[in-house]
Structure formats: structure tokens, C-alpha cells
Structure 1
Amino acid sequence: MDLELLVDLLEALEAPQYRYAELEKYYHGHQSLAFLSPESRAALGERFGRMATNLPRLAIGCLSERLRVTGFSNASVWPLWLANDLDQLSDSAHRDALLFGTSYAVVWANERGNPQVSIESPKQVTVLADPGSREIVAGLKRWTTKTTTEAALYLPDRVIRLRANSLGAVATQFNVVDEMDNPLGVVPVVQLRNAERIPVGAPYYYPERLLDWGWSEVHDLIPLVDGINKLLADMLVSAEYTARPRRWATGIELIETPRVDEDGNPVLDDNNEPIMDVVSPIPEGPRTMWSEQAEAKFGQLDGAALTGYENAVNVLLGQIMAVAALPAHMVGIFTDNPASADALRASESSLTARAESRQKMFGRAWERVGRLMVAVQDGADPDTVDVRTEWCDPATSSAAQEADAVTKLVQAGVLSRLGALRRLGYTEDQIQQELADTAADREAQTDAITKQYHQALMRNEQ
């Protein structure tokens, strides 16, 4: 075992963990109030420690729900994809990649020799890439049990199982417990990186280092979300103390009442005299106020308007909509709801374009997963397997309009039946089932026509 390589992998795994913890807090809406002063925090204690509108989860959800793999150009890949439940688990990989900037898939063989794919979190898995070719040269997965730290080191020629009899172990504490050959000839770890720029390998500089870790969709939203949460907290405090109307009264003499302690006994001063407090004769609780004095007057002060907070929140929401490519109707601005299907698609055009960009980035990784699955299944060289990822249309479309457009293309001879079914979003399994059902219907119709023909001949002969 190469100890220096293990040290590099463990450092690469540990370096972004603090960032992952921060991003995860924002995704779950558990971040603290960023603009709360230490004095205010001490005064509030635990009574108002969390006030969060979970726009980061909304931004990731709106993007990931448009990233759905519908098939592969290589017909042998899709059954393996379904056998590993990747039609469901791929969504988790996309969400982690959008949140943390990267996620992973490990491809190996199970006990029966069939391809087995596991979706992995960047909190447990990392890789090292050759800066020249950008190919992955080593991978590591680390996890813990109650008493040990386990690890798997993935190399192009072998896979090594490691164990340390302690938690939080360093590289020198790991011992080899198993080692097996890697017949694939490549590292069986695939990285889904969410990065619009090329990583430059700057391990000691921030934010350049984010290019190596991958870019989180939440990163740019953090200061804006903190600002909105601060405004919402201020608005709620203002609503409690100033937005409720206050009553007033004039022409009424105040009364004196003795101050009492918790037990109801009068509080005495240094002269052993009861301490008197001047209070209003009208308590806060009753709904009706009355006074026998003719000069008494009652009134009510208007509550403070909160429209200033609304305007400030809308300013920050506009920035979030621009940064996250979210249309107005997705962030709760109901005055700008699209009036038609075309207007809806136009309002989501930026989000659709961003989803198409992520499809291109993640498509390469899923093609790599497909090659490795076929290589495990057939024993082929992964580099010789031709696979292309097919995605669903990320745009919001009307089923009736889409079907009408596809029908016209088929009638014009532009699309075949298979192409029409793919354009409508059918998966490969659904397409094959539809073709089989169509063939069965035609055969049944042919049998019925043949039967009617023979019955007519028999009647004529009689």
C-alpha cells in the first residue's frame, strides 16, 4: 500500500468537510441568523434561534427534477441501469452534486458477478485525478463503525480494503485486511462534478479550490438567503411590538397600588413603608374601557405598516431569482403568474437552459457508469463500449401540444414511430412494451378479419 497516496486521499476527503457541513445546514434550513448581533443573541437565548426560508432546497429541487435519464444509446445498458435502481437513485446523485458540488458512483461486481452500482456522498468518497490527462487515478471511500474506521482504496489494478481500530484514524493507523485484483483496468469510481469551469488544481487558494471540489448551487444564494431571513425576523419582531394597534386614554387620573412580591406580600422601603407604584386604572386585559370622569377620552394608535419589509424582501427575491434562474411563480410571487402555457415556458426558459447544461455535465459521468457496467457484465474494455445518455426534455410542456406536434411530424414522415415515442418521453422499456402491445393488437385484428372472412365463405357455400 502506498502510504503517501493514502495521505493525499485522506487530505482530499477532509479538506471540504467544513464546507459540506455549512451547505447542508442551508439545504435543511438549520442555519443560524447571520445578522443577529451577539448582544441580541444572548438576550434571545434559544427562544428565536432559527428563522429560515428554505430557498436553497427549492432551487436544487426545481433543477434536479428536470434531470431525469430516460435511456441510453446502447440497449444493453438500460436493463443494468434498472437492475441497480438507478432510475430512482440517480436523483440522489444529482441532488448531492448540485448541493455539494460533486457526488460519486462506484461500479463493481456483486457475489453473482453482476454489475453493482452504489451512489456515494462526497462526505465519504473522494478521488485524485492526473492534472495532465484529468483522468481519475485513485479513489477512496471511508466510513466508520462503532469501534473502527473502514476504508476502500480503489486503484486501476487493484482494490484494497483497509481498517483502523479507532475512530478518526490517520493514514498510519490503517492496516490492509483484504486486497483483490481490478480486472477493469480503470478506477471504478465515477465523479459527477457540478462545475461550469475547468479545475486548475489550486489546492491552497479559495475560491479557486471550489473548482476542484465542484460548485454548489447554494453557494451564491447564501448571502441573499441570510438577508431575507434577517428581514423576516425583523418583520416578525415589528409585528409583535409595533404592528398591533395601541390604545390610549386621556383625562384619567392614575392610581397608586402597593408593590407586592411573588408571595403577595407588600414590598417595604428602608423606612418600613410600602412602596407604591403609579399605574393606569384601566387594565390591559378587558375589551371594554370605561371611566366616570367627564373629561376622559379614549382612542387608538394606528399599527406600524410592514410594507417596507415586503419591498425589501422582494428586492432580495429578485436577486435570488436571477442567480438561481427561478421564475417568479416558483418563489411565491403570485402577481406574476404566467397566463398561458407559452408564457409559462417563456418564464422558465432560463431554468430550462441551466438544466440542459447540467444534463451535459452529468451525462458524461453516467456514460462512464454505463461503460463500466457493460465491462463488468461482458468482460469488455470500458473504453471500447459506446454509450450515450438520453435525457428527458427539461422544459415544461403541455402533453396535448407535445402530442399534436409529434403527430404532425410523424404524418410528414420526419419522425418514425420509435422516434415519436422517444420524443414523448417514453422510456426504453415502455417503448418495447408499446411495440409489443401494438403487434399483439394487429395480430388480434388480423385473426378477427380472417375469422369473419371464413365465416362469410361458409355462409355463401351453404
Structure 2
Amino acid sequence: MADPTPASLVVQLLAILGRDKDRLGRIDDYLHGRHDDPYMPAMADDEYRLLAKRAVSNWLPLLVSTPTQALYVDGYRAGDEDRQRSATDLTSPQWEHWQRSRLDARQSAVYKGALTYGHSFTLTERVRDAVLTKGLSALRTAALYEDPANDDTPHAALTVTAWPSGESVGTARMWDSRSEYAVTFKSLDDADGVRVGKGRRHGASECPVTRFAASVDLEGRTVGAVEPMIPLQNRINQTIFDLLIAQTYASVKVRTVSGMAPPVQRNPDTGEIVYDEQGNPIPLAINHNAKRFLFAEDPDVKFGSLDETPLGGFIESIDMSIRHLSAIAQVPPHHLLGQIANLSAEALQAAETALSRKIQEFRTVFGEAWERVFRLAAELEGAAGADDFKGEVIWRDMEQRSLAQAADALGKLREQLGIPAKGLWKRVPQVTQTELDEWDELAEDEDSVGQLATALTRATPEPVTADSVAVAA
């Protein structure tokens, strides 16, 4: 079967963007607080609608930012046996590419995109005299796979650089396994309006776009952290809206009076009662508030009150919904509720277990994607490592431990298991790669000085003394 033409690939990729546009747009709206209104009567007035806007309590960004803040690539260990490097080597071509692309700061955007929409992308390409990697948004980018559940390398990928607006057409870039194409299009579903320019070689042996998927099932579908939580977010908003309604209209006691007619308007000159057009007396407005008392001269007048609506049930319902959100999203409740009083270190660690497992899963899938990025960069730069499938990225240890606890644990590993001290350096809390490299250089200098001192000691003859002669005799 002949390979599809670039134009047919573009049509398929634009169709994917059109198919996912509404779903990803809804996810984007919920992430940024643009939620569906809670249920309210059809004849709701402006005050109700204002309370509905104030009822939006957006918890979804926390579900994305919490695991993202624990994802930080801190190094790369090459797997090539001829070029075996340590995780602290700042001169490896892979890490030079990372720093040149400023991915220390930009990697978080890639993870947030993947956790929000289910997937995000990176593009590795030659820009003038340097090979750089940058992130691509899932709202603008689509990729085709022969086996979307198992393939890491896309058959083709497209990203929109400008959406069509009015009379102006949209523009995009498309890559296949050999070439890059400039694309113009009128709309996502208009195949006749697609125009594809002449291709130019991008320099890699495969499509230079890499997918970062938070979770992929065997059907090739990707799911992020936001979409499954939308129903729970709506439930929380509805409960908060009901709380605001009760708080606004029924949270105070209502005073009642029966058997008393209100005062009516009278003509100031004649003292006669003033009537409206229907012949009814016009009542005067009663200025009544919490500072005033009601009294009546007629003994048959009865005063009473209606109790306020208790708000505790609404608050407990909100708390329960947030705990459900926490359990389903595998985010500890104290991250959402802020309730960490009287919790021991063991209890906190147990609460963090589910989140730690989730983060480890993300590190595994994202690490594979970064390794493909490093192979692409090595191939485009003509450096070694283009076929290094044994390399692995090094993730920073973000677990909070005191330096004293870590030192005690590392000392026991050194003494009891005989692990070399240098192999334990990277487990020191909050140590940076620059510090590790500096320690490596200092250790080499100390070792060189020690070896020189030993050699000088052995080469220097001991002085001859009377005692030594007597001993020799």
C-alpha cells in the first residue's frame, strides 16, 4: 500500500483537532475557572446569577500542580558502555542540549499540558546553528500513530501556528518521517481549502515530535487529571451555591407579626388617609432592622419568629465532596483542606503514599519520552547517543526529609552495605547537579593529593639513627 500524500495526512490531522476541539476546550475552560452554572430556577433574577458566579470554587488546578511540582528532571545517565557517564556529568551532549533549550524552566509546562489534557508534545529541531526542543500545546497539535497505544514515534504530526480568522487563512507546520511542510487551511473540516507547500528535510530519521501522555489505554486514548473530575467539581459548585443561597436568604431569624395593620399615608394638611388608584390605603414603609424593637398598642397583636436555616449540613457536604475528589485524584486530603494538625510523620507519609505512586508512574512514562527527545537531539547534532536506548533521565528527589535523617540513613548504607560514598551523593536532600559535579572534582583533587603524598613518603628513605643501628645489630 502506497504511503499517504502529505495533503491527505494534513486533512487527517486537522480532522483530529476538529474532533477533539470541544472536549479539550471544555477541559481548558474548567481548568481556568469557566465552569457550568449550577442549577437554578428558570426565572432566577440577577441576584441569583451573581451568587452562581461566586459559587465557583476551582479545585482543578491543584490536581494538576500538585504532581507537577514533584516532577523535575535533574540529570541524564547515558547507557552507552563505551561512553558511560555518571548522572552528575554536566558536559554530556544530552545535558548540554537540555540546558541550551532552557528546559529546566520549560519542562513544567510540558507536564502541566499532559496532566491537564491527557497529552502534550515537544518538537526537537535545528534552529539556525543549534538544536533546540520546545513544548507544543495539545489544543494546537495532533499526531498520527500506526499503533497509538504502543508506538512512541508518530507517523506524522501537525501544529497550528495561526488559526483562521475572517478572510485570513490558518497556518500550520506538519512533519512526517523525512520532511517538514508549511500548511495553510481555511477551517478544520474543509479538506478542499488545505494547501501544502513543498517539503524540506528536517534532518532526523523519524518524526521529530514526541508525545508526553499522562495515561494511555490499549485503545490509544489519553486521559488527564481534569476531565474525570469535572462531575465532582460541578457537585462542589452546586453545594457552595446552595450554601450561598441559604446564607443570603435564610441564615438569620425572621420576625413575624400578626393582628397589626401597618401605618398608612395621610395628607399632612388634612390628616386624611391617602388612597391609591384602586382605592386602597397606601402603607408606609417600615424602617425595621436588628437595632429596632417592634411593639403594638393592641393586646391582640402577636409577635413571633422563624428560625434560621442551619448551615452546618452544607459545610459538611462540601467537606465530603472535597474528600471524594481527593480520593479519586490520589491527592492527600491535607493538600486540599489544609488540615495537618496533630499528624505524626508516619501518618503524613501514609497519606502521601498514593500520591507518591502516582508521581512515580508519571516519571516512568515522561522519562521514556525525554529519552526519545535526547536521541533525536543527538541525531540532529551528529553526536553519539542517537541509538542509545539504555540511557535514562534522573529525577530530583522531592521528598521532604531533614538533613540529619538523610545523613544517618546514608551513613548506615555506607557502613552496613558497603555502598561507595560517591554512589550516595545524589541521595543527599536538595542537592543540585552543579554541587554534585563540584564534589566530584574536589574528590578527584583530594585523591590526587593523597596519592602524591603516599608516593613521596615511600620514596623518601628513613633517617639513620643510633637506635636503628643497634636494632639492626
Query: TM-score scaled to structure 2, two decimals?
Result: 0.79
Corresponding residue number in structure 1 for 2:235: 227
Matched, 1:14 2:12: no
SS in 2 for 1:224: helix
By how many angstroms is 1:320 displaced? Answer: 0.9
Using the alignment, how far apart are the partners of 1:104 and 1:283 within structure 2?
65
**CA distance in 2 between partners of 1:77 and 1:427 (Å):** 17
Q: After superposing the two structures, state which structure 1 stretch, 287-296 or 11-20, moved more.
A: 287-296
Match of 1:81 among 81, 85, 98: 98
Structure 1 residue 241 and structure 2 residue 244: aligned? Answer: no
Cα 1:189–1:267 change in 2 (3 A) is farther
Alignment of 1:415-426 (within 5 A): 415-424=419-428, 425-426=430-431
Per the alignment, residue 122 of structure 1 pairs with: 138
3-state SS in 2 of match to 1:63: helix
Q: 2:380 aligns with which of 369, 376, 380?
A: 376
Summarize the Cα distance change of 1:13–1:196 in structure 2 as closer, same or farther, 3 Å threshold. Answer: closer
Question: Cα distance 1:429–1:77, how it changes in 2: closer, same or farther (>3 A)?
Answer: farther
Whether the 8 Å CA contact 1:109–1:116 is kept in 2: the answer is yes
Q: Give the aligned length.
A: 422
Q: 1:91 aligns with which of 105, 108, 111?
A: 108
Q: Does 1:103 align with 2:123?
A: no
Indicate the residue corresponding to 1:206 in structure 2: none
Residue 436 of structure 2 corresponds to residue 436 of structure 1: no
In structure 1, C-alpha distance between the alignment counterparts of 2:45 and 2:159, rounded to whole Å: 40
Question: 1:404/1:223 Cα in 2 relative to 1: closer, same or farther (>3 Å)?
Answer: same
For the residue of structure 2 that corresponds to 1:256, the secondary structure is coil
Task: Give the whole-Å Cα distance in 1 for the aligned partners of 2:234 and 2:397.
Answer: 33
Identity in percent: 20
1:194 matched to which residue of 2? 214
Deviates more, 1:391-400 or 1:179-188: 391-400
Aligned to 1:180: 200
Distance in 1 (alpha carbons) for counterparts of 2:181 and 2:345: 55
Residues 382 and 36 from structure 1, CA distance in 2 versus in 1: closer, same or farther, beyond 3 angstroms?
Answer: farther
Query: Which range moves more in the overlay, 291-300 or 233-242?
Result: 291-300
Per the TM alignment, residue 429 of structure 1 is displaced from its structure 2 partner at its CA by: 2.8
Shift of 1:215: 0.4
CA separation of 1:107 and 1:67: change in aligned 2, threshold 3 A? same
Q: Does 1:144 align with 2:162?
A: yes
Tell me how far apart the structure 2 counterparts of residues 267 and 86 of structure 1 sit (CA, whole Å). 80
Cα displacement string for residues 194-214 of structure 1 (whole angstroms, at most 9, x for unaligned residues): 21522x2xxxxxxxxxx43x1
The corresponding residue for 2:9 is 5
Matches of 1:388 and 1:356 in 2, distance apart? Answer: 14
Residues 80 and 2 (structure 1), Cα distance of their counterparts in 2 relative to 1, 3 Å cut: closer
Aligned partners of 1:156 and 1:184 also within 8 Å: yes
Would you say 1:392 and 2:396 are equivalent positions? yes
| Amino acid of the structure 2 residue aligned with 1:82 | Q
Residues 162 and 253 of structure 1, relative CA distance in 2, 3 Å threshold = closer
* CA separation of 1:384 and 1:438: change in aligned 2, threshold 3 A: closer
For residues 37-58 of structure 1, what are the alpha-carbon distances to aligned partners after superposition, in whole Å with 9 as ceiling and x for unaligned? 5443888456634522221111
CA distance in 1, matches of 2:258, 2:95: 82
How far 1:171 sits from its partner (Å)? Answer: 4.0
Conserved 8 A contact 1:341-1:398: no
**Structure 1 unmatched runs, 5+:** 201-210, 260-265, 448-462
Q: Residue type of the partner of 2:231?
A: P
> Could you tell me how far 1:29 is from its partner in structure 2?
1.5
Aligned to 2:174: 153
Q: How do 1:281-360 and structure 2 match up within 5 A?
A: 283-285=287-289, 287-289=291-293, 291=295, 293=297, 295=299, 301-332=306-337, 334=339, 337=341, 339-360=343-364
* Structure-1 separation of matches of 2:216 and 2:342: 30
Partner of 1:58: 62
For 1:421 and 1:378, the matched residues in 2 are separated by: 32
C-alpha distance in 1, partners of 2:61/2:297?
61
State the 1:25 CA deviation.
Answer: 1.4
Q: Is the 2:371–2:392 contact (alpha carbons within 8 Å) kept by the matching residues of 1? A: yes
Which moves more between the two structures, 437-446 or 134-143? 437-446
Inter-CA distance 316–393: structure 2 relative to 1 (3 Å threshold): same
Distance, in Å, in 1 between the alignment partners of 2:344 and 2:28 is: 37
The CA deviation string for residues 120-151 of structure 1, in whole angstroms up to 9 with x for no partner, is 10111111011297341111111216734221
Q: 1:36 to 1:402 in 2, by over 3 A?
A: farther
Compared with structure 1, are the counterparts of its residues 38 and 185 closer, same or farther at alpha carbon in structure 2 (3 Å cutoff)?
farther
Q: Are the aligned partners of 1:53 and 1:229 in contact in 2 as well (CA < 8 Å)?
A: yes
Q: Secondary structure at the match of 1:374?
A: helix
Distance 1:168 1:130, change over 3 A: closer
Structure 2 counterpart of 1:401: 405
Distance 1:42 1:95 in 2: 36
Task: Return the alpha-carbon distance in structure 1 between the equivalents of residues 104 and 62 of structure 2.
Answer: 22
- Of 187, 204, 218, the residue aligned with 2:226 is 218
Question: Could you tell me how far 1:346 is from its partner in structure 2?
Answer: 1.1
Structure 2 CA distance for partners of 1:128 and 1:168, relative to 1, 3 Å? closer
What is the identity, as a one-letter code, of the residue corresponding to 1:359? R
Larger Rg: 2
**Unmatched tracts of structure 2, length 5 or more:** 79-91, 268-273, 453-473
The C-alpha deviation readout for 1:304-331, integer Å capped at 9, x for no partner, is 2111112222222221121011222112
1:79 Cα deviation after fit: 2.1
